[in-house]
């Protein structure tokens, strides 16, 4: 008796509760269903290949399970050198991109929006031509009898042709050119979104333009800069074409090594192991960067 | 923070144009030391431009701005030593409340101990004691407003500028803050320039109001003078409600549709003038025996009840339309005329204000 009366009470006191709850559940599942294609794509294009790569890297040449490929990477110093060069080239490219890109993004962000958009198209123009074309174009410009050396010598700026290509210089020039937009875009977006009143407030409170920059503008554009830095650095780690064409065999990055392993030695296991190590190092680097960003937020508590 | 030194501001011939538009048109303005002056005007009138010139963010075409005896027109913003409260508050999101308020003090190289003391005092002053460690995004709109205020006064500037600081707050909080700002000003005695487009805010807070229109100061007066004795139709329309009736003045005698008017001030000129009528300054005369300096007769067309007051729309016998406002008490509502009733309205000579008849702006 008591049970049935309380049931009635629930039914009367909270009309349609069960039906509404069902509707909500249905809506949630519908939304989840919408993400299914994306999840499937990630599974097919990411999880499965990477898993397969992992699997291959643990297979010896005769098909048995072994750590042979990883052992070789530790024993042979040339592998260590490859990773060192990869990180060196990536760090240098990223650093040059920051030094060129941050000021450029600043100038763009100060321009009227219409002119800034035009300039932005100019920045993005390189994206519209093939990477390979751009890289070979640099070869034409930079080689010993290339345009730059010819002009330099004609103008009397230097006497001997400079070694601008087939070495680290050429690789860096080519990679910076390709990576620059990836740095400028997030930094520019960050700077545009910044409230102009903040800089006015800093000036009003007594900050000279230099101090206003370092105490207010720079810390507040740091998230964009870190995002751009991370994108550029990670893209650099896996770069193949530019070091292959402009490095002249002297700049061997991990990707070049992987290509060699597969094309010359048909050694999928060794190539996979390289890929796995690069992936892990990259993830470690991202984790480190993420920690740095959080650290910055904590340190950003006060000026000076 | 005790009542410190404040500075007068002298503005001469200040002009700034954007292409054809004069944002500021030969502005002359004297602001007294320690005064709370409001720049009141519609949007685009130039009031914000004037404030930005005072802060140093907008470079005028020519003119002179002196803080005390010192010409500052070419001085960079960071050397002007004026406090400013921005409409957007412009609090630094990467610093907590304490660091925001300490910012101007650190830039001035004060010792750590003194900075801490002064930040604490400033937080107390804006009633945010204990909020120092909060992040900016953890504060409500009203609290941000107070932090912005504390930051603008903590370095004891002798001039404080405020750019519509209350416009983002809801009505009740805004009215509370108006009183608070006013009290703070009385405590500090800093020369304060306050920009607003809200006439009620201007009337509530100011020592004097400079009404700005089309880059010019059209009237500079106390709130009461600006409301009771506007000198132009623009000011009368912008501040408060008003209706205008055409009158003819000949040799100091003015007539409204033939009926002579009793006015307190001598008319500004002869010929056609406008009589300004404030709805709440008209009395509803009960019986034929009630009298006033000026009596208008007409008929009620609409009665609008608004809670605290009621409005009557009246057509006068000469065809002019006007509005009358009365206090809505139970007794007055019971006696209030209904739509269609004849009505007699009284206007005291001191409330009959004559204005030059200009075209609307």
- Phi and psi (nearest 5°) for B84? -140, 135
What is the Cα–Cα distance from A53 to B230, expressed in whole angstroms? Answer: 84
**Structure letter (DSSP) for residue B256:** E
Q: Cα separations (Å) of A271 from A47, A85, A218?
A: 18, 17, 42
Q: Which chain A residues are Cβ-neighbours of B49 within 8 angstroms? A: none
Edge-to-edge strand list for the sheet holding B309-316: B283-285, B342-347, B294-305, B309-316, B321-327
pLDDT of residue A10: 54
ipTM of the predicted structure? Answer: 0.83
**Structure letter (DSSP) for residue B258:** T
Residue of B nearest to A302 (CA): B99
What is the Cα–Cα distance from B272 to B358, expressed in whole angstroms? Answer: 10
How far is C-alpha A164 from the chain's CA centre? 26
**Structure letter (DSSP) for residue B196:** E
Q: Under a CB-based contact definition with an 8 Å cutoff, are residues B100 and B91 in contact?
A: yes
- B30 Cβ contact partners less than 8 Å away, ≥ 6 residues apart: B8, B9, B10, B11
Residue of A nearest to B82 (CA): A204
**pLDDT per residue as tens digits for the range A55-94:** 888 887 777 888 888 888 888 888 888 888 898 999 999 9
pLDDT bracket for residue A296 (50, 70, 90)? low
pLDDT of residue A132: 85
Q: Cα separations (Å) of A23 from A18, A56, B177?
A: 9, 47, 46
B195 token code pair: 């920009």
More confident residue, A139 or B226: B226
β-strand partners of B30? B10
- B28 Cβ contact partners less than 8 Å away, ≥ 6 residues apart: B11, B12, B13, B14, B217
β-strand partners of B259? B256
Q: Cα separations (Å) of B63 from A303, B10, B20, B22, B44?
A: 36, 11, 18, 14, 20
Q: State whether residue B38 is helix, strand or coil.
A: strand
Q: Under a CB-based contact definition with an 8 Å cutoff, are residues B8 and B32 in contact?
A: yes
- Judge whether residue A294 has pLDDT over 70: no
Beta-carbon contacts below 8 Å between A and B: 82
Inter-chain contact B99–A302, Cβ cutoff 8 Å? yes
pLDDT bracket for residue A297 (50, 70, 90)? low
Closest partner residue to B84 among A204, A220, A297, by Cβ?
Answer: A204
A196 token code pair: 């102009």
Label each residue of A71-132 as H, E or C.
Answer: HHHHHCHHHHHHHHHHHHHHHHHHHHHHHHHHHHHHHHHHCCHHHHHHHHHHHHHHHHCCHH
Q: Cα separations (Å) of B291 from B254, B277, B285, B296, B331?
A: 20, 18, 7, 11, 21
Write down the pTM of the prediction: 0.80
What is the Cα–Cα distance from B28 to B66, expressed in whole angstroms? Answer: 12
Q: Under a CB-based contact definition with an 8 Å cutoff, are residues A166 and A247 in contact?
A: yes
Domain extents for chain A?
Answer: 91-297
pLDDT bracket for residue A300 (50, 70, 90)? very low
β-strand partners of B314? B300, B322
What is the Cα–Cα distance from A59 to B176, expressed in whole angstroms? Answer: 76
- Phi and psi (nearest 5°) for B269? -160, 180
Contact residues, B window 94-133, toward A, CB-based 8 Å cutoff: 94-96, 98-99, 102-104, 106-108
pLDDT of residue B253: 82
Closest partner residue to B107 among A206, A220, A297, by Cβ?
Answer: A206
- Judge whether residue A107 has pLDDT over 70: yes
Q: Under a CB-based contact definition with an 8 Å cutoff, are residues B216 and B41 in contact?
A: no
Q: State whether residue B330 is helix, strand or coil.
A: helix
Label each residue of chain A as H, E or C.
Answer: CHHHHHHHHHHHHCCCHHHHHHHHHHHHHHHHHHCHHHHHHHHHHHHHHHHHHHHHHCECCCCCECCHHHHHHHHCHHHHHHHHHHHHHHHHHHHHHHHHHHHHHHHHHHCCHHHHHHHHHHHHHHHHCCHHHHHHHHHHHHCCCCHHHHHHHHCCCCCCCCCCCCCHHHHHHHHHHHHHHHHHHHHHHHHHHCCHHHHHHHHHCCCCHHHHHHHHHHHHHHHHHHHHHHHHHHHHHCCCHHHHHHCCCCCCCHHHHHHHHHHCCCCHHHHHHHHHHHHHHHHHHHHHHHHHHHHHHHHCCCCC
What is the Cα–Cα distance from B28 to B64, expressed in whole angstroms? Answer: 9
A295 touches chain B (CB under 8 A): no
- B186 Cβ contact partners less than 8 Å away, ≥ 6 residues apart: none
- Phi and psi (nearest 5°) for B131? -100, 5
Nearest Cα of chain A lies from the Cα of B164 at a distance, in angstroms, of: 14
Residue of A nearest to B163 (CA): A197
Residue B54: which of B238, B205, B191, B154 has the closest Cα? B191
- Phi and psi (nearest 5°) for A184? -65, -40
B86 touches chain A (CB under 8 A): yes
In this structure, how many other beta carbons lie within 10 angstroms of the beta carbon of residue B202?
27
**pLDDT per residue as tens digits for the range A170-216:** 889 989 988 999 999 999 999 999 999 999 999 999 999 999 999 99
Interface mutation vs chain B, best among A206, A210, A294, most B CBs within 10 Å: A206
Residue of B nearest to A198 (CA): B90
Residue of B nearest to A220 (CA): B94
Nearest Cα of chain B lies from the Cα of A191 at a distance, in angstroms, of: 14
Closest partner residue to A200 among B57, B99, B102, by Cβ?
Answer: B57
**Structure letter (DSSP) for residue B281:** G
pLDDT of residue A304: 32
pLDDT of residue B269: 77
- Angle of helix A268-299 relative to helix A48-57, nearest 10 degrees? 120
Closest partner residue to A197 among B86, B103, B104, by Cβ?
Answer: B86
Closest partner residue to B78 among A195, A206, A301, by Cβ?
Answer: A206
**Structure letter (DSSP) for residue B101:** H
Most confident of the ranges A5-14, A264-273, B152-161: B152-161
What domains can you pick out in chain B, each with its CATH number? 9-234 (3.40.50.300), 241-356 (2.40.50.100)
Q: State whether residue B99 is helix, strand or coil.
A: helix
What is the Cα–Cα distance from B253 to B262, expressed in whole angstroms? Answer: 8
Inter-chain contact B83–A303, Cβ cutoff 8 Å? no
Q: Which chain A residues are Cβ-neighbours of B78 within 8 angstroms? A: 202-209, 212
B84 touches chain A (CB under 8 A): yes
Residue with token string 């101007």? B104
Q: Under a CB-based contact definition with an 8 Å cutoff, are residues A83 and A90 in contact?
A: no
What is the Cα–Cα distance from B361 to B341, expressed in whole angstroms? Answer: 35
Dihedral of alpha carbons B285, B291, B293, B295, sign: positive
Contact residues, B window 332-361, toward A, CB-based 8 Å cutoff: none
Q: Under a CB-based contact definition with an 8 Å cutoff, are residues B35 and B192 in contact?
A: yes
| Residue B103, Cβ density class (10 Å: 0-12 exposed, 13-18 middle, ≥19 buried) | buried
pLDDT digit of tens for each residue in chain B (361 aa)? 444 578 999 999 999 999 888 899 999 999 999 999 999 999 989 999 999 999 999 999 999 999 999 999 999 999 999 999 999 999 999 999 999 999 999 999 999 999 999 999 999 988 888 899 999 999 998 899 999 999 999 999 999 999 999 988 888 888 888 998 999 899 888 999 999 999 999 999 999 999 999 999 999 999 999 999 999 999 999 998 888 988 888 877 888 877 888 888 777 777 888 899 999 999 888 777 777 888 888 999 999 999 899 999 999 988 888 999 988 888 888 888 888 888 989 998 888 888 887 765 4
How far is C-alpha A267 from the chain's CA centre? 28
- Angle of helix A168-193 relative to helix A77-110, nearest 10 degrees? 40
**pLDDT per residue as tens digits for the range A242-255:** 888 888 777 888 88
pLDDT of residue A302: 38
pLDDT of residue B215: 93
Superfamily grouping for domain A91-297:
MetI-like (1.10.3720.10)
């Amino acid at each position: 008796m008591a049970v049935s009366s309380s049931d009635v009470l629930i039914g009367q006191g909270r009309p349609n509760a069960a039906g509404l709850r069902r509707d909500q559940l249905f809506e949630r599942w519908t939304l989840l269903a919408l993400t299914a294609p994306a999840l499937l794509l990630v599974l097919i294009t990411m999880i499965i290949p990477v898993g397969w790569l992992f699997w291959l890297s643990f297979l010896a040449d005769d098909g048995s399970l072994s750590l042979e490929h990883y052992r070789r990477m530790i024993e042979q110093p040339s592998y260590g050198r490859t990773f060192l060069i990869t990180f060196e080239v990536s760090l240098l490219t990223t650093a040059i991109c920051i030094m060129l890109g941050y000021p450029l993004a600043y100038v763009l962000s100060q321009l009227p929006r219409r002119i800034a958009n035009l300039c932005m198209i100019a920045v993005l123009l390189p994206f519209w031509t093939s990477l390979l074309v751009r890289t070979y174009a640099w070869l034409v410009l930079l080689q010993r009898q290339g345009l730059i050396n010819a002009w330099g010598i004609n103008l009397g700026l230097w006497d001997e042709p400079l070694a601008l290509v087939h070495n680290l210089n050429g690789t860096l020039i080519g990679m910076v050119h390709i990576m620059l937009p990836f740095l400028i875009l997030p930094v520019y977006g960050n700077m545009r979104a910044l409230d102009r009143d903040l800089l006015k407030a800093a000036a009003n409170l007594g900050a000279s333009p230099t101090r206003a920059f370092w105490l207010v503008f720079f810390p507040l554009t740091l998230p964009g800069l870190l995002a751009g830095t991370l994108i550029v650095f990670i893209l650099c780690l896996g770069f193949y074409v530019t070091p292959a064409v402009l490095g002249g065999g002297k700049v061997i990055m991990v990707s070049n090594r992987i290509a060699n392993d597969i094309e010359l030695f048909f050694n999928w296991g060794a190539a996979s192991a390289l890929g796995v190590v690069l992936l892990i190092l990259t993830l470690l680097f991202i984790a480190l960067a993420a920690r740095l960003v959080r650290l910055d937020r904590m340190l950003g508590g006060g000026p000076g | 923070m005790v009542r410190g030194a404040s500075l007068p501001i002298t503005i001469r011939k200040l002009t700034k144009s954007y292409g054809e538009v004069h944002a500021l048109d030969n502005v002359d303005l004297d602001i007294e030391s320690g005064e709370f002056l409001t720049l009141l005007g519609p949007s685009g009138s130039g009031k914000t431009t004037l404030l930005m010139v005072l802060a140093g963010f907008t470079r005028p075409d020519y003119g002179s701005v002196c803080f005390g005896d010192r010409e500052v027109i070419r001085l960079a913003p960071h050397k002007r030593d004026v406090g400013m409260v921005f409409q957007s508050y412009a609090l630094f999101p990467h610093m907590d409340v304490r660091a925001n308020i300490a910012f101007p003090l650190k830039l001035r190289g004060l010792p750590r101990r003194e900075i801490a003391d002064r930040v604490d005092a400033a937080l107390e002053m804006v009633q945010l004691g204990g909020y120092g460690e909060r992040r900016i995004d953890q504060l409500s709109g009203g609290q941000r407003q107070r932090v912005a205020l504390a930051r603008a006064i903590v370095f004891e500037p002798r001039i404080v500028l405020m750019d519509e600081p209350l416009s983002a707050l809801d009505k009740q909080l805004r009215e509370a803050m108006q009183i608070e700002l006013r009290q703070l000003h009385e405590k500090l005695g800093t020369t304060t320039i306050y920009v607003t487009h809200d006439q009620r805010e201007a009337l509530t807070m100011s020592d004097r109001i400079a009404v700005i229109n089309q880059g010019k100061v059209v009237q500079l007066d106390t709130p009461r003078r600006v409301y009771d004795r506007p000198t132009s139709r623009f000011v009368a329309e912008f501040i408060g409600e008003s209706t205008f009736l055409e009158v003819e003045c000949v040799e100091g005698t003015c007539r409204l549709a033939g009926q002579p008017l009793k006015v307190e001030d001598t008319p500004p000129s002869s010929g056609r003038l406008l009589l300004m009528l404030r709805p709440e300054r008209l009395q509803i005369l009960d019986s034929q025996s009630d009298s006033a300096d000026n009596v208008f007769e007409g008929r009620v067309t609409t009665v609008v009840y608004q809670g605290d007051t009621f409005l009557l729309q009246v057509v006068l016998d000469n065809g002019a339309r006007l509005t009358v406002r009365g206090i809505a008490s139970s007794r007055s509502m019971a006696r209030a005329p209904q739509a269609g009733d004849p009505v007699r309205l009284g206007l005291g000579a001191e409330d009959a204000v004559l204005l030059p008849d200009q075209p609307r702006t």
